Amino acid sequence: MVRKDKFFFLLIFLLFILLAGRLFYLQILKGNFYRECSEHNRIQILKEFAPRGTIYDRSLDILVSNRASFCISLIPWLAGQRVDEVLTRLASILPINLQEIKSKIEAQKFRPFQPILLKEDASPSIVSRLQESHMDFPGIVVQIKPCRYYPHGRMCAHILGYIQEIQEYDLERFEEQGYEQGDLIGQTGIERAYESYLRGVDGGTEIEVDVLGRPGQPPHILAQKEPRQGAKVVLTIDREIQEACEKALGNRPGAIVVMNPLNGEILAMSSGPDFDPNMFTTGIPAQRWKELAAHPRKPFMNRAIQGLYPPGSAFKFVTAVAALEREVVQPQELFKCEGKISVGGREYKCWNRAGHGWVNFERAMAESCDIYFYHIGTMAGPEAISEYAYLFGFGAPAGIDIPGEKKGVVPGPEWKRKRGGKWYRGDTFNFSIGQGYLLITPLQLANAMCAFYNGGRLYRPHLVKEILLYNGERKKFSPEVIRDFSLKSSTVFFLENALRAVVTRGTGVLSNIPEAEVFGKTGTAQNPGGQDHAWFVCYARPVEGRARKGTVPVVVVVFIEGGGSGGESACPVARYVLHKIYSVEPAAPSYPSGISGGIGVRSTTLAESLSRNTYTETGLSTQEETDGF
């Protein structure tokens, strides 16, 4: 080796000598001391779990909190010889698996002081019975543990998410932050996204135990640390609007999103069918979990952000913006709709087979004439529609602050070419009316309408308003602008008039309320797999003097999976929600007669609202069980 190499190796050698020296000190010189430590002064930590942070709605109503749960455990060492007797007696008042417990005792025979959990979340009556006759149950201890509690049951389930014992794949990633087997961790929704805030810091007591794991009498406490509750998270959700949305959606599969267009705050977001997050807090049997996860109605899917659907005519306002911004059409220009149009030997129809006759822009929007949009879509070109779809936020996750969002599909000639296909004129037709390859989430549609409301400024939608940290610090979330593609004032003017016409005299009349000016677009999207999907997207401005004081403009999207006609089934739902937001009277409006049966909103009786809030052991109320959810 050359001199350089020798010097380098010498350096490494010296570092190793340093290690060896330190090992000599620890293991030989201080070996007896540390052996003594390990034999007589072992330290054991009794963990005390920190309660998770509370989650509030925007007016500080509690959405998630914690309750005390009683855990019954056995400390084998304290039971001593009487362990079999104790367990048999316990089995008579508590369903426990003797076989399983005995194998657990065997597995940790070297640590007899370590409590073995027998029953989580035991009922108070059993706890009091145990405490009355504690002499008969040596070794049985009752601990109080904080347990996640969702007081409103299913409400906001998809937003809040749920917590569960940490799984192996997460443990690998979060070990760094001190997670251990048996710890609880947020799995979806806010519980997941804001886990690091909600979690808190576990406390505990460090006590000296002897070689068998027994503490001294009295126990020698080396250190103690109080658990610290996680941070308080305040959502942008308005509980009353959320309640209205969930009630209006009923048990149908679908989603409703209500946003404040001025800052991207989500005021309500519901997805059906839903679930009760309480069922996870004390563990859910694996079999039951599998059944629910594979359920054909997909109760755990947050349809507002994870469901991809064709928007149908609700997309027409994007096509309209593309055509108006590119100035390929004048709003007063007339096109003739004969109910169908032939291109390349194929016939493309308007939903109105009889035809709309001569239509201008406003009437085409109001009556949702497909032929008109075939024309202006072709004139603007599929590239322009793609471009505006992307600008409005389609084809990319909207960026909401909970995980799992889907990005959807915005097609175009380039997109299709990459997939080995040729773009036909018919593809442009389909694209213009929100059919074909286009797939979006309800949240994307809501956010796009917000962007139109703002004249082209797209905000990032968010659910958390602020976080209150333990030290009193407030972390506020300010609106975040994703992009600003200023629309021409003429575009805004003509499109707004057209959207208003939809509600006052077009397909969306069933959404109109006197307390606010509603501007919207209906959509009835063909669904190759089944019934048409019903859509309605709108924004509303409160009318001074009629609307409740202090109300703000909102954007509402109603989506009902397989719900049929947008105008007939989505609009009344939107109307119900808008009425709840703006009306001064507390009573719900009656639905227009003739369709009330079809929209499926159940009139809520006291008994029903109770059954919605109670939960059985499986977390699904019996009513949902019978009709499949």
Partner 1 sequence: MVFDRRLIKNFDMWIVILCLILGATGIAAIYSATHLNTFYSDLFLKQILWFGAGLAVMLLITLFNYRILKELSYIIYGLSLILLLGVLFFGKSALGAQRWLRIGPFSFQPSEFAKLAFIIVLAGYLTPEGMAKRILHLRDLFVPLLLLIPPFILVMEQPDMGTALVFIVILFGMLYFAGFKIWQLLILIGIGAAILPAAWLFLRDYQRMRILVFLNPKMEPLGAGYALTQSRITIGSGKLFGKGFLHGTQTQLRFLPKQHTDFIFSVLGEEFGFLGAIVLLFLFLLLIYRSMKAASTRDMFGRLLVAGIISGFAFQIFVNIGMSIGLVPATGLPLPFISYGGSSLLFTFTGIGIILNVRMRRFMF
Catalytic-residue membership of 368: no
DSSP at 546 = T
For the residues of 41-74, what is the DSSP string, one character each? -EEEEEEEPPPPPPEE-TT--EEEEEEEEEEEEE
CA distance linking residue 231 with residue 226, whole number of Å: 15
Residue 313's contacts (CB-CB under 8 Å, 6 or more residues apart) are: 351, 368, 370, 433, 434, 521, 522, 523, 524, 525, 535, 566
- 227 lies in the binding site for partner 1 (CB under 8 A): no
38-67 footprint of partner 1 as x/- string (CB under 8 A):
xx--xx-x----------------------
Of these residues, 313, 386, 432, 621, which one is catalytic? 313
Q: Does 180 engage in binding with partner 1 (CB under 8 A)? A: yes
Phi, psi of 97 (to 5 degrees): -95, 100
- For the chain, counts of helices (H) and of strands (E): 26, 23
Per CB under 8 A, 213 contacts partner 1? yes
Type of residue at 204: G
Answer yes or no whether residue 327 interacts with partner 1 by CB under 8 A: no
Site size for partner 1 (CB under 8 A):
58
CA distances 118 to 108, 261, 288, 307, 544, Å, are: 15, 51, 21, 41, 61
- Least distance between partner 1 and beta carbon 569 (Å): 35
Pick the binder of partner 1 from 60, 93, 222, 584 (CB under 8 A): 222
Cβ 448 to partner 1, closest distance in Å?
23
Question: Does the protein bind partner 1 through residue 97 (CB under 8 A)?
Answer: no
At 287, list the tokens.
């079999």
**Closest CB 111 distance from partner 1, rounded Å:** 6
Q: Report the C-alpha gap between 75 and 91 in whole angstroms.
A: 16
Residue 230 CB, nearest approach to partner 1 (Å): 12
Looking at residue 403, what DSSP letter applies?
A: S
Q: Which stretch binds partner 1 (CB under 8 A): 150-158, 201-209, 262-270, 481-489?
A: 201-209
Check binding of 173 to partner 1 (CB under 8 A). Answer: yes
Q: Which secondary-structure segment (H or E) carries 205?
A: strand 203-209
* Residue 471 makes contact with partner 1 by CB under 8 A: no
Binding mask 22-41 for partner 1 (x = CB under 8 A): xxx-xxx-xxxxxx-xxx--
175 binds partner 1 (CB under 8 A): yes
Question: With contact defined as beta carbons under 8 Å apart, do 185 and 458 qualify?
Answer: no
What the block records as the tokens of 617 is 């052991």
Give the nearest distance from C-beta 199 to partner 1 in angstroms: 9
Q: How open is the CA angle 273-275-280, to the nearest 5 degrees?
A: 160
| Token representation of residue 171 | 């443990």
Using CB under 8 A, pick the residue from 77, 120, 127, 204 that binds partner 1: 204
Burial group, residue 448, by CB count within 10 angstroms (0-12, 13-18, 19+) = buried
Among 4, 109, 419, 549, binds partner 1 (CB under 8 A): 4
Closest Cα partner for 507 from 308, 350, 388? 350
Find the Cα–Cα–Cα–Cα dihedral 233, 266, 250, 558, rounded to 10°.
Answer: -170
Footprint of partner 1 on 348-377 (CB under 8 A)? none
> To the nearest 10°, the Cα dihedral for 232, 233, 236, 238?
-60
Residue 100 sits in the site that holds partner 1 (CB under 8 A): no
Question: Which range in 9-17, 249-257, 353-361, 556-564 contacts partner 1 by CB under 8 A?
Answer: 9-17
CB of 102 to partner 1, least distance (A): 16
Per rule CB under 8 A, is residue 285 in the interface with partner 1? no
Q: Which is nearer to partner 1, 110 or 217 (CB)?
A: 110
Q: What is the DSSP letter of 533?
A: E
Does position 106 interact with partner 1 (CB under 8 A)? The reply is no
Q: Residue 225, interface with partner 1 (CB under 8 A)?
A: yes
Choosing from 80, 136, 151, 178, the residue that interacts with partner 1 (CB under 8 A) is 178
Task: Identify which range of 76-84, 176-184, 270-278, 583-591 contacts partner 1 by CB under 8 A.
Answer: 176-184
> Smaller CB distance to partner 1: residue 30 or 349?
30
Amino acid at site 380: A
Give the nearest distance from C-beta 590 to partner 1 in angstroms.
44
Residue 2 or 606: the one with the smaller Cβ distance to partner 1 is 2
Could you give the CA distance from residue 33 to residue 217 in angstroms, rounded to a whole number?
Answer: 23
Cis ω for the linkage preceding 273 (within 30 of 0): yes
Site of interaction with partner 1 (CB under 8 A): 1-2, 4-5, 8-9, 12-13, 15-16, 18-20, 22-24, 26-28, 30-35, 37-39, 42-43, 45, 107, 110-111, 168-169, 171-178, 180-181, 193, 195-196, 203-204, 206, 211, 213, 222-223, 225, 403
Q: Which residues are catalytic?
A: 313
